[in-house]
Chain A
Amino acid sequence: MPRQTFVLNGKPVTVDVADDVRVLWVLRDLLGVTGPKYGCGINVCKACTSHVNGRAFNPCSVRVGDLAAGDEVTTIEGLPGQAGLDGDDLHPMQQAWIDRDVAQCGYCQPGQIMAAVALVRKVRREGRSISEADLDTIRNICRCGTYTRIREAIVQGAARM
């Protein structure tokens, strides 16, 4: 059985599993990291959105064998650490989510937050701040329909990032 090694939330991990198993199942079923959620398995609902080397990605559509040993995977559990915060602290985007009481059922929200953080970084790289048009491009589905508060929270979270 191949040994798969990568960095998960700041710590190296090694798992014995075949190359073609998607990262989502490695995280959830083998490592017990359940923040990234399953919503479709084909990279359309975006509920599993996490980061790889600081960029948003969807672990449902990456083979674990395609990760290099030095690749840094960050799930919602590791988001505060990615920002240099302690375990129990919240990332400014998470705090904005709480301030706006965004979550209803909460299922899609880890993915929404990870997508929001990546989107804010992306528009900053492009030398802009977040606009209504940027918010319109977010593909993460929320079936509870929390979109209005998600938009408000991203604007607030971006201001404090």
Chain B
Amino acid sequence: MLPLERTTSRRRFLGYVLGGTTLVAAADLVVASPASAAGVPTPPQVAEVYDLNDFITDAARPTANLVTVEVREDGTAHFALPRSENGQGIVTSTAMLIAEELDLPLDRVEVTLAPARPELLFNQLTGGSTTTTSTYTPVRVAAAVARMALLEAAAIVLGDTVELLKSKDGVITAPDGSSVTYAEVAARAAGGGTRAVEVELKDRSEFRMIGTARNRTDAREAVTGRKQYVTDLDVKGALPTMVCRAPTLNGTPVRLRNRRQVLRMDGVTHVAKVATGIAVRARTFGQCIDAIRAMDVEWADGPVAGQSDGDIVEELKALDPDLPPLPTNPLAEVVEEEFLFYFRSNSPMDTNAAIADVREDSAEIWNACKVPITAQETIAAELGLTPDKVVFHVVQGGGSFGRRLFFDAALEAARISKAMGKPVKLMWHRADDARAGRTHPMSTSRVRAVVAGGQVLAFQQGHTSVETDYRHGLGEILSATAADLPAGLGNMGFAQSIFAMTQELPYDFGAVAQTLLETDERFNTGSMRNIYSPDVRTANELVVDKIARRLDLDPLEMRLRFCRSDRVRGVLERAAEVGDWGRSMPAGTAQGIAIHKEYKGASACVAEIDCRPATVGRDVPRAVTGPRVTRVTFVIDAGLVVNPRGLEAQMQGGINDGIAQALTSSLHLRDGHFLEASWDNYFYTRQWNTPPEVRVVVMPSDSGQPGGAGEAGVAATMAAVACAYARATGRVPTYFPINHRDPLAFKPKPVVPPVPQSPTNGLKLTY
């Protein structure tokens, strides 16, 4: 390990050229993160002083200098990003950071995903929208060190001094006009052994790349079908594999009664019992489906056998926390509401999948995973190997939304490969993914506010939730083990910390108290995109609107009057302006407005909804229609923006998530399992639900710090849609999504067999 030294100024950093035959540059980072707390009527909440981004960035800092940028002899730069890309655009934005400091065109920077690197400790977790916040400086320093090494080598070749040389687009030019390319000096720059180099990062005013709108670097691969996900990889001998799962959630297999019959089926090569079900390996996935459907399995019930939504609701309500006593004031009025949020699936398009090749003394795994170190260490322990014998490749994922904070498929594939003694390409059927995949837990939120004399004296929120699983820890096994202490105690500590570090109510509402209580470890849960915030903010903002009505204030006026953050005020005013807040609209339609503050940023959303019968009842076959959000204006202040086009994309996606969670998207627990077994059961936003008019505004910012993007679009949208719905219908919704208690819009698929057969009528449905 290289010694840590202090930085010499705000933009001056030390780094290292690592000796070798190829130019490899590393950052050395110790940066103080100043915490600021201003005196405000509401004492600062934890998230205001130290939020989840700070926490994960600080946790990553000690190992930041193990992250290196390499310049090869063809003059291209290479960087293995120790993060997981699932569509959020970090490969592109990271390439932009390197191109900026190295003065290279973007297409000469290649960013790949690093395999599990245990030495990175906490620096290989992808979550909490923290990637750019935590890598912004280290990656640029490493790139700047590489550039300095190239300049030093060029100075010798060109016979000039480093200070007088200019680098641009991979070419270094001397004042006399002579020049060399990076390719020509890369080998020379690599020589000379390991040495410390001091560099100065570019000032914002010098940026030519950062802050410009760029397309994704993998756009061409994506539109030509060449981009590869786990199930597209061709690993020798890794045949298609699926698992027959229990009819109750997390039920376990006792025995397969017709093993010989299944083994004789066309294409089937192996069958094995594992902890989660009966695995089958075959020549094609279609033959795996046939085999699963033919299996006669004896099952042991799972832990929620016989239970339905209502049972879990009762359990949460029974646990409702006592909110602190209210300030006594005879003139005060109490505004109170209680909200319920049903289970939702993070359901990426690319179902849980992994390739595993487990041998006697080693293993190799391919998986889209945000915690590869935890995964590698857990799988090694499971297989009785040391972690260095398990190679864990991080593959790009087809969406995550929190799902890939876990490695359920990788662990299952490792177990199956070991049991069968063969490489396997495991893919969860969509029915498995919907029913047994991880979900956003059901929760209730009680909000109580005390209003007197035109002021809000107190605002309290008690959030009670089925446990959110944080057993992935901070991305390595030590904290994962801490989160797995008995009786949920370790996980509860994580949950409380995450809640405190993410929730911030940016209004002057006197005594603000937000508390979290979690219970019930029986479900497969996890941090779905934006974790607690969509539910918490929706409950908040509906009550804010209710208070506004008591105070006879317009919703915008109400928020502006009590707002205690300049950044929130900025996005709010802009959203109101661009979204034509207050414009006249027909009965049955309305606007809603909401804000959110998280991820070193602030957002505001104006949503317009149409709840008129002709719209609600519009007919789309096998679809949930209902109220239509017709227009969304979303304003985001994300601090320093690396790629505004990517940021806009993340907001557009978050908008559709917010709409889904407010209006259409949930899982129904009935008799021990979730009913939803596919799309057209689970109603994520579709083209007939998406707003025809969407406008995202990225606020200019003089902040030197990038904020988070991936999750920042969800909370304000969900809340704004809920507020718009309440104003359009005159009824404040008390559960979400609003259609959850409607008659089911689909016929539930059987649980035995657990996967549906593929249809055969496709040639009749062409268009």
Is B284's CB under 8 angstroms from A97's CB? no
A-B contact count (CB 8 A): 238
Which of B226, B652, B680, B692 is close to A44, meaning CB atoms less than 8 Å apart?
B680
B762 touches A62 (CB 8 A): yes
A-B contacts besides A25-B284, A63-B760, A147-B686, 19 pairs, CB < 8 Å: A25-B286, A34-B225, A36-B225, A45-B349, A58-B762, A98-B219, A103-B218, A103-B219, A104-B87, A104-B650, A105-B350, A107-B350, A109-B222, A110-B225, A141-B679, A143-B349, A145-B654, A147-B685, A148-B694
- Cα distance A136–B688 in the bound complex, in angstroms: 4
Chain A 82-106 against B: per-residue CB contact (8 Å), 1 yes, 0 no?
0000000010001001100111111
The answer to whether A137 and B687 touch (CB under 8 A), given A29-B285, A66-B763, is: yes
B residues near A26, Cβ cutoff 8 Å:
284
Q: Is B205's beta carbon under 8 Å from chain A?
A: no
Interface: B668 (CB within 8 A): no
Interface size class of A (residues with CB under 8 A): 35 or more
Report yes or no: A77 in contact with B224, Cβ–Cβ below 8 A. yes
Q: Is B86 an interface residue (CB 8 A)?
A: yes
- How far apart are the CA atoms of A2 and B465 in the complex, in Å? 55
**Closest CB of chain B to A32's CB: distance in Å?**
6
Nearest CB of chain A from residue B266's CB, rounded to whole Å: 5
B425: nearest residue on chain A (CB-CB)? A29
Q: Are A105 and B348 in contact, CB atoms less than 8 angstroms apart?
A: yes
A135: interface (CB < 8 Å): yes
Residues of A within 8 A of B (CB): 17-18, 20-26, 28-30, 32, 34-45, 47, 52-53, 55-63, 66, 75-77, 90, 94, 97-98, 101-110, 113, 118-119, 122, 132, 135-151
Taking the closest CB of chain A, its distance from the CB of B261, in whole angstroms, is 17
A41-B430, A98-B215, A104-B653 known; A144+B399 contact, CB < 8 A: yes
In contact, A107 and B756 (Cβ under 8 angstroms)? no
| Pair B398/A103 contact, Cβ less than 8 Å | no
B318 in the interface (beta carbon within 8 A): no
**A134 nearest in chain B by CB position:** B687
**In the complex, A41 Cα to B434 Cα: how many Å?**
13
Please tell me if the beta carbons of B285 and A103 are within 8 angstroms of each other in the complex.
Answer: no
A38 touches B219 (CB 8 A): no
B759:A105 contact, CB within 8 angstroms: no
Bound complex: CA A42 to CA B676 (Å): 14
Interchain CB contact under 8 A, B224 and A94: yes
CA gap between A25 and B748 in the complex, in Å: 26
B499 at the interface (CB under 8 A from A): no
- Residues of B in contact (CB 8 Å), total 79
B763 touches A57 (CB 8 A): yes
- Rounded to whole Å, the gap between the CB of B145 and the closest CB of chain A is 31
| 13 cross-chain CB contacts under 8 A | A39-B349, A59-B762, A61-B762, A76-B224, A98-B219, A105-B349, A106-B398, A108-B398, A141-B679, A145-B685, A146-B653, A148-B694, A151-B690
Q: A22-B286, A32-B234, A143-B401 are in contact. Are A101 and B645 (CB under 8 A)?
A: yes
Q: Are A103 and B216 in contact (CB under 8 A)?
A: yes
Residues from 652 to 703 in B contacting A, C-beta threshold 8 Å: 652-657, 678-680, 684-688, 690-692, 694
Q: Is the CB of A136 within 8 A of B687?
A: yes
Inter-chain CA distance A30–B687, complex, in Å, is 33
Contact of B289 among A41, A139, A140 (CB under 8 A): A41
Interface assignment of B221: CB less than 8 Å from any CB of chain A: yes
Within 8 Å by CB of B762, from A20, A40, A57, lies: A57
- Whether a CB of chain A sits under 8 angstroms from the CB of B283 is yes
User: Residues of B contacting A76 with CB < 8 Å?
Assistant: 223-225
A101 with B285: CB separation less than 8 A: no
Chain B: CB-nearest residue to A91: B223
Partner of A105, one of B220, B231, B398, B680: B398
CB <8 Å contact, A138 and B687: yes
Say which residue of B430, B655, B767 sits within 8 Å of A55 (CB atoms): B767
List B contacts of A90 (CB < 8 A). Answer: 220, 223-224
B240 and A29 contacting across the interface, CB-CB below 8 Å: yes
Q: Are A106 and B227 within 8 A (Cβ)?
A: yes
Tell whether B600 is near chain A: CB-to-CB under 8 Å: no
Which B residues are in CB contact (< 8 Å) with A113?
223
Are B649 and A104 within 8 A (Cβ)?
yes
Lowest 4 A-B CB distances belong to which pairs?
A35-B225, A105-B87, A107-B398, A145-B656
